[in-house]
Amino acid sequence: MSRIVLRAVGDNLLHKQVYRSAKKEDGSYCFDGLFEHVLPLIREADISVINQETIYVNNRDRISAFPFFGSPTEAGDAIKKAGFSAVTHASNHALDKGFSAIKDTVDFWEKSDDSIVFAGVHTDKKDADRIRVIDRNGIRVAILNYTGPLNYHIIPPLHPYCVDVMKPWSKGRITRQIRQAGEMADVVAVFPHWGCEYLYEPIPAQKEWARFFADAGADIIIGTHPHVLQYRETIVSADGREVPCLYSLGNFVSCQINQGTMLGGMADVSVVKENGKITVEKADIIPLVTHTDENYSFFTTYPLSEYNDELASKNKIFAMMKKNNGWDVNMEYLTKLFEDIMEKRAMETSIYKSPKDIRKHNRRAVINAITGRNSKG
């Protein structure tokens, strides 16, 4: 019998405050501190995955934050140093800097050693058709990554393969990839970037895509994009398999000052192979919390089990949430929010009830960012 543990975290969302905290005197960046307190959880896993929400750029003049992100490649250096096995890049921000930034990102990973796999973005069709497979303890896991939203960006006509997308017209390709992955690997793990931001429950489109992925042959589905946690459920596929679906892991790190955005999650999946049969024994979520100090001088993420009220009292994100909305964010608040999300109760107290509410919020946020009034960066 063989067993592996797969762990994954959500959006590595690098706002201007995070850049500033990581910038060194010589103009370079060091993001190692983001992972300091979750390193044991990452390194004890056989396979670990992170969603890199923001695309990389080589040109320092192109580094930027919300609403159009471009991140220094040192963010990738920190991911490598932390020991992640795979990075997913298909996100709504993948085309924020055009095809040239996708090339920067792919070049960065291709020049790295083979210990880390990247998925979701490509510079040529051959790479877009390649299925990423990681082998640990005799269990082969395929990593597939697709994004629904693209923030109104248009896929470059000369590079139609540059971002793996989940659109009605791409279902045939996705089905073929999942089936090919199933022939190459024991476990097909699909990482969709989907849903509606800031909603604690999946929207109908997520449910429909989850059913599609399961019926096509996915064994585990782990979602990102909403910036808040969403619950886990088991989908019974057309062929009778039980497929765990973790709809959203929320943010791994960010400087979003909003309900629930500081509370993320780490997927904790256990897979067993015995007599050639694969069983997903466990698919849980470990709660995480983003922490910074009174001056945004550093950012890091803690397991909620290692956080405390003293740290919470010094977290400027929480102070801003208190100032702006009157929320007292402490261990009681965070623990209850996690429980409410997992038990499908969080929408009862959410300030956002529908995608319509989110569209209004996002329009204001973009206008404020462009005019310099947005605290997110």
DSSP string of 92-120, one letter each residue: TTTTTTHHHHHHHHHHHHHTS-TTSEEES
- Nearest CA to 120 out of 163, 174, 74 is that of 163
> What Å distances lie between residue 96 and 20, 66, 306, 351, CA to CA?
20, 10, 35, 28
User: Quick one: average pLDDT of 2-10?
Assistant: 98
Euclidean distance between CA atoms 34 and 301, whole angstroms: 6
Beta bridge partners of 302: 289
Question: What pLDDT is recorded for position 373?
Answer: 56
CATH number at 2-291: 3.60.21.10
Does residue 351 register a pLDDT over 80? yes
For residues 375 and 253, the model is more confident at 253
pLDDT category of residue 30 using cuts at 50, 70 and 90: very high
Question: What pLDDT is recorded for position 213?
Answer: 98
pLDDT, averaged across the chain? 96
pLDDT digits (tens, 9 = 90+) for 236-272: 999 999 999 999 999 999 999 999 999 999 999 999 9
User: Quick one: average pLDDT of 272-282?
Assistant: 95
pLDDT category of residue 375 using cuts at 50, 70 and 90: very low
Question: What pLDDT is recorded for position 19?
Answer: 97
Question: What pLDDT is recorded for position 377?
Answer: 37
Question: What pLDDT is recorded for position 352?
Answer: 93
pLDDT digits (tens, 9 = 90+) for 291-339: 999 999 999 999 999 999 999 999 999 999 999 999 999 999 999 999 9
Question: What pLDDT is recorded for position 112?
Answer: 86
Q: Which residue has the tokens 């589905």?
A: 221
Question: What pLDDT is recorded for position 357?
Answer: 85
Euclidean distance between CA atoms 244 and 319, whole angstroms: 36
For residues 374 and 183, the model is more confident at 183
pLDDT digits (tens, 9 = 90+) for 66-116: 999 999 999 999 999 999 999 999 999 999 999 999 999 999 999 987 789
Q: Which residue has the tokens 């990581």?
A: 22
Indicate the pTM of the whole model. Answer: 0.96
Q: Parse the chain into domains and list their residue ranges.
A: 2-291
Does residue 366 register a pLDDT over 90? no
Burial (CB count within 10 angstroms: exposed 0-12, middle 13-18, buried 19+), residue 237: middle
Q: Residue type for 131, please? A: I
